[in-house]
Every structure is written in C-alpha cells, then in structure tokens.
Structure 1
Amino acid sequence: MLSRYLAGSIVALKIASTLAAGVQFAGINIAGFDFGCGTDGTCTTSSVYGPVPSIPRSGGDGPGQMKHFTTNDKFNIFRLPVGWQFLVNNQLGGTLDATNLGQYDKLVQACLTTGAHCIIDIHNYARWNGGIIGAAGGPTNDDFSGLWKQLATKYAADSRVVMGLMNEPHDMPSISDWAGSVQAAVTAIRGAGATSQMILLPGDVYTSAATFVSGGSAAALAAVTNPDGSTHNLIFDVHKYLDSDSSGTHPACVRNGISDAFEPLVTYLQSSNRQALVSEIGGSSNPSCLQYVCEALDFMNQNSKSILGWVAWAAGSFPADYVYSLTPHGDTDVPIVTQCFAGKFEGGIGFGSATDTVGSDTTGSNTAGSDTTGSSTGSGSTTASSSTSGTGATPSSSTSTTSGGTTQPQPQPPPQPIPINGNRPNSTGTAVSGGWQYNGQQLQSQSPCKPNYAAGNVATSKNRRSNPGKARLEYEAEQ
C-alpha cells in the first residue's frame, strides 16, 4: 500500500528510493542513423553511419550493444534515431526508400529480437531542410502524416514498436498549429492499423521537461486524441539534461532537474491523468553527474505512475571518447550506466509489464474514465547507491541538499575536447578563435558537434539551444 501511494504522489528526495514502485521502462538511445542531422532539420545522408555492422557505412554494433544492455542491465526499451531524409532518400513526400529503410529495419529488428520496446524516432526537430512542419514553405501536415502512415503500416503488427513522432521541435511559430500536425500523424498511424502502439507526443523548446507545462506544450498536446476520442497510449515525450546550460554538451552536471523540471511536470501529469516518457536524459561519468542523474532517476521511480521511464543518451555509433558515450567497453558498462541508468532500474519486475495499459481515456461516447498503468504490486526496490568515487568535481556554482547533507561547491573541471570522428579513429576537435581545430588544422565551416552552426560561434549556438539538447557527432564523408 505504501509503495502504491508513493508511486502516485510527488515524493521528496529524503524518502528512501527503496519505498518506490519504480518505472516501467529504462534503456538507451542507439544513435547513428541520425548523424548529419542539424537543428534546422537539414540531414546530410552521406553523414549517416548506421550502427549495424552488416550494412554499408556502419559506425557501431547496435545489435551487440542492445543484446548486452538487455542481458547485463535488464533494459527493456531502446530509441533508434533516424533522419527523415534518409528514410525517403531526400524526397519530401515520397515513399520509403527500400534500400535505406532496409538498413534501418535491421536495427529495428535487432531491437525487437531482444524483447525490448523499440522507439522509431524521426530526428528532424520538426523541420525539413530549414522549413518548419505546418508552416509556410515547410513540409505540410500531409507530408508528415504520410511518412508516419507508411511507417505505421510496416510496423503495425508489433505492439512493442513505439512511434516517436519527432525529435525536439523548437521555435515553433504556433504551439496549437504544431499540435495540429501531431494530430494528423496520430490519426494516420491509427488509421494504418497501428492501434496498440504507444505514440510519443513532443512539445516545443526541444520538448524540454522544464518548459513542457509552462510553455504551453502540455495544454496544446492534451487536445490530441485517437480517432475514437480517447488518449489511450498517447504519451508525452520530454527531454532533460543536467549540465550548466541544459544543452547536454558538458562533462559536469550542476543540478538534478527536480524542482525546475520534473516536479512541475509530475504535478501536471497527476492532475490531468496523463503520462510522460523521458526519451533523452544524459550525463558523463563525472561524479557530479553520477550524483545528479541518479537523484533525477530516484524521483522518476518515486513518481512512476506519471513517468513511465527513461531512455539515456547515447550509444550506437558514438566513439568511446564522446562526452556522453554509453557504449560498453567490451562487456563492461561505463559508471553512469552501472550506478544510475541500470543501477536505478530493476528490469521492470513489479513495475508493470509490456501488456499493461498506458495512457488515459478521458472521453467516450457513453462513459468517461481513465486507464492507468503499472500499479505497483511487487517490491521493485532500488538498491544501487548514488555515491561516487574517482576524479572530477561538481561545478563551482552548484550545491545540492540531499538526505546526507549538502554537497559543497567544488572547482569546475577544465573544458574537454569535443570528439569528432569518421575515418579518423579517436580524433578530437577543439574550439579555437575563429573556428574549430582538428589535429592542428583549422575547420572553417561547422562545429563538429553542432552541425549547421557557424564555426567560432559556439556561444550563439548554445543560446539558441538553451534547453535540452545534446552534442551531435557529425561524421565526415569519405574523401
């Protein structure tokens, strides 16, 4: 009874996490098919390095990673980012390209083979080559819904395929218009026969958990319904990074995001009988991230009736020296996976199952009511500790009150080189005056981690992405 009560209430961090029911889903983003996509929705298909060894231009062993994560860490969900342009071979409004879809489907099928849920994530920031979906000069709602109709038709038979409509919309001219685009996609998916799958509804401002309610995304997207008028299996999609500017680019974390992001979100979700999935959250294995990320996940476990789970950023084709790389070293996980992302998850035991009802039905022709998910009937306690060891420090501007006292301010660690790669294993790029430098050679055009931003203008690009995001690794095409 106590764990059930805690699962439906906002719980202070001082209450032990072992009392909570725990989230239903936890897993990893398996990146690579999204490489070359910038925040303006331009995706360079020649920069794609799909994380499947058996395909051309492979960048990592996604199938092997997912097998490791399900076997060793009991993860049960993976997010598989892909660029819109790649799927349709750069033909807006066109049909799915058989060759490119075949390559991506190898990753999807490898995911399904593990028994996990698999999120198809269109990684285009609600854009196509600079044009905003539903706005003048951008893709039409028919273009967007047409893509999803084709994908839903292909995957309609498997309820473990989750439809992640769009990665990180931002600077949308009208949130109500964006909700209309989302509605068109939902209607197309359900009309294609994919009636049992979860659909993830992303908001504006990079679908930031911190602004999802206050920025109006929650209210606008709450009006999106299935064709029968219900909201069953329509799940809000949120992201949150815990570094200094919430960009997901820095090795140190400065906050746990609870008071400014997750508490307001959970309050809204409880009052409206809705649910959310945190499909991106990340951190390095810096001790500050081991503390703050673990605290955030404790909070999610304690409010698992509202927050279904988390999907960490990222493995796949990222090299081991990428600041947020979660790629295992052989059969060994990096510390933040061991202590936080896996350490705070008990594999779904007692947290609900893949066949549980998720989402809420708020209207109907004859009755009104709600469907809830994952009632806590098992112990599902979290036993891993968020204590840390090793080198590193929390930022100088950060303090955190926990059940054990207050973490004292520590010096900020020095900036880390930002990894770039391609045909240059273990290479790094460094910000220098007037641009970016790679192995002593000046790069004139783009930041290696923020495609489509002018080199030498790092501050501007960070300000434009002042809410959740992450460093993007842009692979260079073969010369």
Structure 2
Amino acid sequence: MHAIVALLTFCCHNASAQQPIEPLPLIGVNFAGASFGAEKLPGRIGWDYFYPDIAAIGYFAGKGANVVRLCVLWERLQTRLGSDLNESEMKQIDAVIAEAHSKGIRVLLDIHNYAAFEDSRIGSDKVSVQDFADLWRRIAARYRDDHSVIFGLMNEPVQLATETWLDAANAAIEAIRTAGADNMIMVPGNGWSSARNWLSSSYGSPNAAVMLRTRDPRNNFVYEVHQYFDPGASGTHPNCIDAASATATIAPFTEWARKNGHKAFLGEFGAGADSNCLEALRRVLQFMQDNRDVWIGWTYWAAGPWAKDYFTNIEPDGGADRPQMAVLEKFMAAGRRN
C-alpha cells in the first residue's frame, strides 16, 4: 500500500484548518459516452459514442474534480483479441488524458465491458483469462510512465464465477506489473461490483471471501465498488430509498475493507434530484468522509453529452447546474483547494 499511503499524504496533509470538509484524495465524475454504441461496433465518434470535450473537463475541474473515470469499450481498443491496440482510438484517449492533466485531473481508464468481449465472458471458450491479461499488458506498456493514469480493470463483472473473475483480475495485475507499470489499479468484484452485495452469495461465492486473494506485487490496488440508492439499487429509477438508510448500503463493505486492511473507491453512484435523494447523496458522501481510513474517493455517475434528461446526468442543463451538483460540489471543491 506504499503508493496509496503516499497519495493520501500528498493530498491531505495541507488541509486548511478553516475548511470543514477534509478532502478525500480522488473525487470526480464518470464520463460515460465513449462506452456507448456497443451494438454498433466500431461505431462513429460523435454519433454512436462520444469522448468528453474540453469544455466538459474544464467545467468539472472548476467545480473541484481531481479525477474522471473514462469509460471505454474493449472492442474499440482491440478490434480482435490479441491484436495491437487500435491507434486511432488510443489517440482519442491520449487527448482526454492530456487535457485532463492540464487541468490537474487524473484519468481512471475503465474497461466498461461487464467481463465480456463481444458478449462472450472472460473464462469462456471464446475469451480466455490470458486474452484479458494481454489487453492490460498493452495498455500498461503505453501508460507506465504516466502515473496520473489509474487502471480500472473492468466495469461490473457479472455472469461468471467469482473465482474466474479473481483469476482474470490477478492475471491482468501480473501483466500490468510485468510490463513495468506501477500505476494504481482499481479491482472490482463480481455481481456488478455491488457494495451492498459484497458479502452476499447471490451471484456465487461472495466477493468478501474470494477477492481477498487478489495479488499485486506492488500492493498498489484499491477495491472499486458501485452503489445506487433507488429501490433495487439498479440506478434506473429517479426515486430513492429512505435517505437515512442510504449509508447502510455501503457500511458492511466498509467494515470488511477496514478489517482486512484494504482501501475502497466508489466508482459509480447516483441519485435523482428530489429532496430525499439529495439527502441520501449527502449522507453517503459524508459517510465516506467520516470513514476516510477506508475510502480514498469516488466518481459520480455520470457526465457526458448524452441523455440530458436522464435523472443522474450531472452535465449542466442549459448552462445551469443540476441539483445534485450543489451537494457534490461541497465535497469536490474541498479536494481542489489542497
């Protein structure tokens, strides 16, 4: 955990005595558009899928974000398994990284594929664990000299055995380190990487038991979980559970991480704009602040030039901030001032 400890120290040691919220090291948003159009591969940039523009990155930098989770598709980075990285697509990612870096923002590169390539799961006859490791070996070789880039192994693994996902994650980590990259790695769990279900057996062997066998020779990894606050926790309904219950969805996972000496990152979470949802959002953000020995940060879902009427979209609406931003900004701005 040496690199994580250094990150915590670097980000937090100068917190102002006048600032009531001591910042978490990594706070920001998801940019979702580059993972869209999976049914239209390879798709057309600006039509089927979108990368964030300069104005969007600048807006969130101004609000206080210091990380963006950039969601991309495996099939666009490698048009076939085992192939070289698609240079035209990688240049789009490079441009986002460069613009973010110029604004003091780190990029968490997220493979947004649910543990699949072209609808075949990792560990199947069509997609091997080593195919997944090969992808990350190539990405790691490209960004090993830029530690501002964080490697998000996979978005929400699902429909495979937890043990298979562990094998894939460990193979990818080994490939990254063998390529000479010391970058921070975000490791999700099976079952949509749900914080609420981390200890559950509803998707097979619980993450709480299996993912403890994650192996990183650099010990520079963080467990990434996701959690929404609508009934069913799917992130598809604008209403929320009672705000007072929101923190209970991540509390057991928090205790698991603390007990086992691990750090955590809330890679996706979102809520509607009514007063109950906004209070749920505030309580969860404050809970992470209060449990900073475990939580290193979060990225809200989501931003990007898509579905502007979607209830969790945090892009400005006609130039006006969304209601959720008033809650998020109190925690985001704290991070940028230090």
- State the TM bucket, normalised to the shorter chain: 0.7 to 0.9
What is the Cα deviation at residue 218 of structure 1? 3.2
Is 1:157 aligned to 2:150, yes or no? no
Aligned positions of 1:245-256 closer than 5 A: 245-256=232-243
Distance 2:51 2:83 in 1: 28
> Which residue of the partner structure matches residue 193 of structure 2?
207
> Which residue of the partner structure matches residue 440 of structure 1?
none
Identical-residue share of aligned pairs (%): 30
Match of 2:65 among 56, 75, 84: 75
Instruction: Give aligned pairs, total.
Output: 316
- Render the CA deviation track for 1:144-198: whole Å, top value 9, x for unaligned: 01101111111111111110000001122x2122111100000111111111x21
Is 1:300 aligned to 2:300, yes or no? no
CA contact (8 A) 2:229 2:240 kept: yes
**TM-score (normalised: structure 1):** 0.62
1:49/1:239 CA distance change after superposition, 3 Å? farther
1:333/1:20 CA distance change after superposition, 3 Å? closer
**TM-score (normalised: structure 2):** 0.86
Distance 2:209 2:44 in 1: 36
Distance 1:129 1:59 in 2: 20
1:259/1:329 CA distance change after superposition, 3 Å? closer
Distance 2:74 2:82 in 1: 10
1:304/1:62 CA distance change after superposition, 3 Å? farther
Distance 1:304 1:330 in 2: 35
Give the match's secondary structure for 1:115. coil
- Render the CA deviation track for 1:451-478: whole Å, top value 9, x for unaligned: xxxxxxxxxxxxxxxxxxxxxxxxxxxx
Distance 1:57 1:170 in 2: 25
What is the Cα deviation at residue 118 of structure 1? 0.7
> Which residue of the partner structure matches residue 421 of structure 1?
none
Structure 1: state its 5+ residue gaps.
Answer: 1-17, 38-42, 51-55, 354-479
CA contact (8 A) 1:279 1:311 kept: yes
Distance 1:64 1:223 in 2: 42
Amino acid at match of 2:234: S
Amino acid at match of 1:67: G
> Which residue of the partner structure matches residue 335 of structure 1?
323
Match of 1:179 among 133, 143, 166: 166
Is 1:278 aligned to 2:266, yes or no? yes
CA contact (8 A) 1:126 1:166 kept: yes
> Which residue of the partner structure matches residue 109 of structure 2?
120
- If you compute each CA radius of gyration, which structure gives the higher value, 1 or 2? 1
> Which residue of the partner structure matches residue 44 of structure 1?
40
1:69/1:47 CA distance change after superposition, 3 Å? same
What is the Cα deviation at residue 46 of structure 1? 4.5
Distance 2:294 2:313 in 1: 28
- Render the CA deviation track for 1:30-64: whole Å, top value 9, x for unaligned: 11110023xxxxx53244645xxxxx866464331
CA contact (8 A) 1:34 1:48 kept: no
Distance 2:316 2:273 in 1: 13
What is the Cα deviation at residue 244 of structure 1? 1.4
Distance 2:309 2:135 in 1: 35
- Render the CA deviation track for 1:283-314: whole Å, top value 9, x for unaligned: 12222211111111111111111011110011
Is 1:65 aligned to 2:56, yes or no? yes
1:296/1:306 CA distance change after superposition, 3 Å? same
Structure 2: state its 5+ residue gaps.
Answer: 1-18
Distance 1:275 1:46 in 2: 36
> Which residue of the partner structure matches residue 385 of structure 1?
none
Give the match's secondary structure for 1:343. helix
Greater percentage in helix:
2
Deviates more, 1:270-279 or 1:136-145: 136-145
Is 1:93 aligned to 2:82, yes or no? yes
What is the Cα deviation at residue 222 of structure 1? 2.1
Amino acid at match of 2:305: S
- Render the CA deviation track for 1:106-147: whole Å, top value 9, x for unaligned: 22322222211211100100011222112x324111110110
> Which residue of the partner structure matches residue 36 of structure 2?
35
Let me know the Cα RMSD of the aligned residues.
Answer: 2.3
